[in-house]
Structure 1
Amino acid sequence: MKLSVLLDRARDHALPVIANITDDDLTRPTPCADYDVKALLDHLLHVVVEFQKLAAKQDADFSHTPAYPDWRARYPAETAKLVDAWGEPGATDGIAGNMGMPAQTVGGLVLLDLTIHASDLAQATGQRFEPDGEVFTEVHALVTQMGPMATEMNVFKPAVAAPADASPFEQLLAATGRDPRWNA
């Protein structure tokens, strides 16, 4: 399936979670120990903005994460731009900007971030989240392929054991080092 279609489906599942985050939620902890809800919102929005540049073969800047006070309005607009950017002819061809990786893989990374961090935000704010089935399949393949390298680079924490009755998505979260049943 085309990456932009998968990103659009991931967006459709992430936006309701983001829309339901209240001001009272912003200081809550998240499954990402380094981030509270607001910091994770800023991080994810920055990823969405910078990966638009990577789709256009421009360099991205992840040296710092700005605060986005207008995050509620920007998420729908920026995620729509992300879908469009990765839907442009040639976006998944060649090397993506300064990432130095195949563009198709880089596009998969933003799909992974959008999906996993939407889940993190849902857990942190007491919401339910289940990714689109085809998005899950793509993200699962990427985690399986890149998991050891991502753990080595501290992108993922070492895998944790999933509960015996864990859903496939909970097993995926555990493979990224997250407690699949974490709650604040």
Structure 2
Amino acid sequence: MSGIEDPRPLLRRGTDGMSTLVERVSPERLAAPTPCTEFDVRGLLEHVLTMTLSYVHLGEGAVDSDDAEAAPVHVDDRQWPTAYREAAERLDKAWAEAASLERSMSMPWGAVDGRGALLGCLLDTVTHSWDLARALGTTVAPDEELAATTLEVAREIMPAERRGGATPFAPVRPVSEDAPASTRLAAWLGRDPEWTPERSG
């Protein structure tokens, strides 16, 4: 899948970027809307943390995404940066052995090896970083090189025709071909590329 031999360095860049954004979340912003319309900022952070911990469980030996699913998290309003940073560190440790990339796993998009599973984690992490950055109105620049790589992964894992039903993504949104890679990634996964907090209502 995608020709990426080792997704771990890419994923580490993704979790580093997410950590930078989570550091900027004040308690007052937790109820703010996000481009991932089913979540406010708190709900998005809960989803991202739970997702990250599920991939920790896969790295630690689980072979089915259903068995690896983490319990819902409950975090004090001021502890989100610490909670996410610790989860990202656990993720690194869980996948530290190269052999973990070769294990067979069952994911919602099919049977893959550990390499393919981590690409799913990369996709979620980078996409939700865009969601969080837009929700916060931050000036932190996206990692566009990472976003471009993740867009390639998204087109493979989540093709345009695979929408609706149990698939948690809306249809692909139109966006200029010369738009930033992070914006094209968001549009590919059904986000409004022009979303702002002011337009969310």
TM normalised by structure 1 equals 0.88
1:127 to 120, 125, 138: 138
Taking every aligned residue pair, what percent have the same amino acid on both sides? 25
- What pairs with 1:146-161 in structure 2 (closer than 5 Å)? 146-148=157-159, 150-152=162-164, 153-161=166-174
2:111 to 73, 93, 101: 101
| 2:104 paired with 1:86 | no
Counterpart residue identity of residue 6, structure 1: L
Q: Is the 8 A contact 1:162 1:174 kept in 2?
A: yes
- What pairs with 1:1-184 in structure 2 (closer than 5 Å)? 2-58=6-62, 59-61=67-69, 65-69=72-76, 70-96=79-105, 101-102=111-112, 103-128=114-139, 129-131=141-143, 133=145, 135-148=146-159, 150-152=162-164, 153-163=166-176, 166-184=179-197
Residues 142, 98 of structure 1: alpha-carbon distance in 2 compared, 3 angstrom cutoff: closer
2:53 match: secondary structure: helix
Q: Is the 8 A contact 2:163 2:169 kept in 1?
A: yes
Q: Distance in 2 between matches of 1:68 and 1:158?
A: 32
RMSD (CA atoms): 2.2
Q: Is the 8 A contact 1:55 1:107 kept in 2?
A: no
1:49 match: secondary structure: helix
The structural deviation recorded for 1:72 is: 2.5
The structural deviation recorded for 1:113 is: 0.9
Stretches of structure 2 that go unaligned for 5 or more consecutive residues are none
Counterpart residue identity of residue 92, structure 2: V
Q: Distance in 2 between matches of 1:147 and 1:98?
A: 13
Structure 1 runs of 4+ aligned residues shifted over 3 Å read 97-100
Aligned length: 182
The structural deviation recorded for 1:154 is: 2.1
Q: Distance in 2 between matches of 1:119 and 1:50?
A: 21
Between structures 1 and 2, the one with greater helix share: 1
Stretches of structure 1 that go unaligned for 5 or more consecutive residues are none
The structural deviation recorded for 1:6 is: 1.0
